[in-house]
A and B are shown apart, each in its own frame.
Chain A
Amino acid sequence: MTEVIDCRGQRCPLPVIALARRLPDLPVGATLRVLADDPAAATDIPAWCRMRGQHYLGSPAPHAFDVRREV
Chain B
Amino acid sequence: MGVSEAYFDAASAAPLHPAARQALAAALDDGWADPARLYSRARRSRQLLDAARGATAEVLGVRPDELSFTAGGTAAAHAAVLGGLGGRERVGSAFVHSAIEHSAVLHAAERHVAAGGTAHEVGVDRLGRVDLDAFAAAVAGPGTALAALISASHEVGTVQPVEAAAEACALHGVPLYVDAAQSVGRVPVPGGWSILTASAHKWGGPPGVGLLVVRKGTRFRAPGPADERTDRSTDLPAIVAAAASLRAAQAEAAALAERHRALVDRIRATVAATVPDVEVVGDPERRLPHLVTFSCLYVDGEALLHALDRRGFAVSSGSSCTSSTLTPSHVLVAMGVLSHGNVRVSLHRDSAEADVDRFLAELPGIVTDLRAEAGVVDL
Chain A residues in the interface with B (C-beta under 8 A): 11-13, 16-17, 20-21, 38-40, 42-44, 46-48, 51
Contact = CB atoms under 8 A, between A and B. Distances in A.
B336 A47 contact: yes
Given A21-B379, A51-B279, A13 B340 contact: yes
Contacts of A16: 297-298, 340
Interface string B309-344: 000000000011100001110001100111111000
A15 B339 CA distance: 13
A68 to B, nearest CB: 18
Contacts of A11: 320-321, 326
Contacts of A40: 319-320, 327-328, 339-340
Nearest to A19: B379
B128 to A, nearest CB: 14
B333 A13 contact: no
Interface string B16-38: 00000000000000000000000
A43 B379 contact: no
B300 interface: yes
A48 B379 CA distance: 12
A46 B336 contact: yes
23 contacts: A11-B320, A12-B300, A12-B301, A12-B340, A13-B297, A13-B298, A13-B299, A16-B298, A16-B340, A17-B298, A20-B298, A21-B379, A38-B320, A39-B320, A39-B326, A40-B328, A43-B333, A43-B339, A44-B328, A47-B336, A51-B277, A51-B279, A51-B338
A10 B327 CA distance: 13
B379 A47 contact: no
Contacts of B341: 13
- Which 6 residue pairs spanning A and B have beta carbons closest together? A13-B340, A47-B338, A20-B379, A12-B340, A40-B328, A40-B320
Nearest to B300: A13
A46 B328 CA distance: 14
A43 B321 contact: no
Main secondary structure of the interface of A (DSSP, over half): helix
Interface residues of B, number: 24
B277 A39 contact: no
A17 B340 CA distance: 11
Contacts of A44: 328, 338-340
Given A12-B319, A13-B297, A48-B338, 9 more contacts: A16-B340, A17-B374, A17-B376, A40-B327, A40-B328, A47-B337, A47-B339, A48-B297, A51-B338
Contact of A12 (B277, B336, B339): B339
Q: Which of A16, A20, A42, A44 has the most CB of B within 10 A?
A: A44
A12 B320 CA distance: 7
Q: Which of B298, B299, B327 has the most CB of A within 10 A?
A: B298
Contacts of B379: 17, 20-21
Contact of A43 (B298, B328, B374, B376): B328
B296 to A, nearest CB: 9
